Amino acid sequence: MSRFRRRVVVTGLGAVSPIGLDAPSTWKNCLAGENGVRSVNFFGTEAWPVRIGAEVRNFEFSRYEHDSFRPLIPYLPRGLKYGLAAAEEAMADAGLNENSLSPHRFGLSMGAFNECPSLAEMNNWWRLERDFDPPRYFPVDDRMDLWISQVSSARGLCQRWRCGGPYYVMSAACASGTMSQGAAFRTIRRGKADVMLAGGFDGMVEQTTCLSFALLGALSTQNDEPGKAVRPFDLCRNGFVLGEGAAVLVFEELEHALQRGARIYAEVAGYASTMASESITDMTPNGSHQGKAMSLAVADAMLEPTEINYINAHGTSTRANDVSETRAIRRAFGAHADKIAVSSTKSMVGHLLHSAGAIEGLLTVLAIRDQVAPPTINYEHADPECDLDYVPNVARPLTIDAACSNSFAFGGNNATILYRRYCGASARTAVEMVR
């Protein structure tokens, strides 16, 4: 018995990151090994054990303002602003707008979280508590709660772009951005949509999040040398650094993209997720669950493990994760693991939490387009337990026909998205037959 599934391609990219305010500058600085980790500016850190972060700097939201949300701009969380900006860029990059798509065939899948209140919101709450005078309170309409609540924050993007199709918000910790790509991919492949905005946004370089992760012992305390703090797979690694930003990819059904003459960056080939329930904070030491996610993604793409050339690793720079991920890669790829280039772009942008998988997926797509593996910077001392090719410190030209992007989250959520080089519709039919 056979069935058919539609092919999915990437036709637009947008990003706001600690190393660039759009996708081209983020990619350029990534290849150059630019480091986005610095002392935190958003709040005072003098008494804090961790005083460093990968913040978005010099971001001006005014250029992205739109009538659909203009009255709410002072009260929008930072992360949502990054997401709106990244989506604006991605749609323009794809040559699409809200009037060029059938609303019910256009959907959205985002990794997002309920951010802490902005200072503007908190100021108004305090003022209301001190002197209850409703006219002095900022004017709120019924959209306000929908724009700042966890489940509905991504709704702001839907409202901006008039998406009327499938809608998903993923809140699966560090795997959210990758799971959002997986959901968008499967939605199009199953015929439920023609175009999906996929990605994630986060703006959690703030007091509560920093304190929480610091108390867990997950953050690097190398405050005196921010540029050296994140060192994935290095023997001297001691934790990750929180980052912030957004990345949005336009996923499109292949025939839909070809009919309108769209530029194609890469093809979305496979996706899989697994769950590890042993611990809420620790990776599975032997990498079994993470390795299974990679193996299933390769199988979903109808590829052989030996066809994978590059992996954008979860690579958090923690003692446990990097060893576990190394073992997982060996489990999934066997002897071929030694031939795969593996890099952690978190070494440059930090850990973007709910948007981590989104920015890493975007960088993986660009690695395929330009046939180059991004570096893992700050790699100076080899760890005997991390024994793969981590593309140390300098980007490397590389033939990349297929690549994986991994996200392994607190809570046990593991996800792998697989992209491959697009070689034209003649190489494989626009609709694949699966036996």
pLDDT at 145: 52
Q: Is the pLDDT of residue 114 over 90?
A: no
Q: Is the pLDDT of residue 141 over 80?
A: no
pLDDT at 244: 96
236 forms bridges with which residues in the sheet? none
Q: Is the pLDDT of residue 359 over 60?
A: yes
Residue 306 vs residue 156, higher pLDDT: 306
CA distance 341 to 334: 14
pLDDT at 136: 47
Q: How many CB atoms lie within 10 A of CB 345?
A: 27
What is the DSSP-derived secondary structure letter of residue 339? G
Residue 367: CATH number of its domain: 3.40.47.10
The number of domains in the chain is: 1
What percent of the chain has a predicted confidence (pLDDT) above 70? 86
Assess contact for 312 and 367: CB atoms under 8 A: yes
Provide the residue range defining the domain that includes 106. 3-434
Q: Is the pLDDT of residue 378 over 60?
A: yes
Catalytic residue (one of 256, 289, 314, 354): 314
Q: Is the pLDDT of residue 140 over 60?
A: no
Is 248 buried (19+), middle (13-18) or exposed (0-12) by CB count in 10 A?
buried
Q: Residue 200: helix, strand or coil by DSSP?
A: strand
Over range 391-397, report the average pLDDT. Answer: 99
174 is catalytic: yes
User: Out of 210-224, 360-374, 378-392, which region has the weakest mean confidence (pLDDT)?
Assistant: 210-224
pLDDT at 123: 60
Q: Is the pLDDT of residue 209 over 50?
A: yes
| C-alpha of 433 from chain center | 30
Catalytic residue (one of 163, 256, 289, 351): 351
pLDDT at 65: 77
pTM given for the model: 0.91
Location of structure tokens 């910790």: 173
Question: What residues contact 54, with CB distance under 8 A and at least 6 apart?
Answer: 18, 36, 37, 38, 205, 241, 242, 243, 244, 349, 350, 351, 352
Q: Is the pLDDT of residue 260 over 60?
A: yes
Per-chain mean pLDDT for the chain: 88
256 is catalytic: no
User: How far, in Å, are 157, 346, 347, 354, 403 from residue 360 at the CA level?
Assistant: 21, 8, 12, 11, 11
pLDDT at 161: 85
pLDDT at 279: 65
314 is catalytic: yes
Catalytic residue (one of 174, 210, 386, 404): 174
What is the DSSP-derived secondary structure letter of residue 197? E
The pLDDT tens digits of the residues spanning 31-60 come to: 999 999 999 988 777 878 889 999 999 999
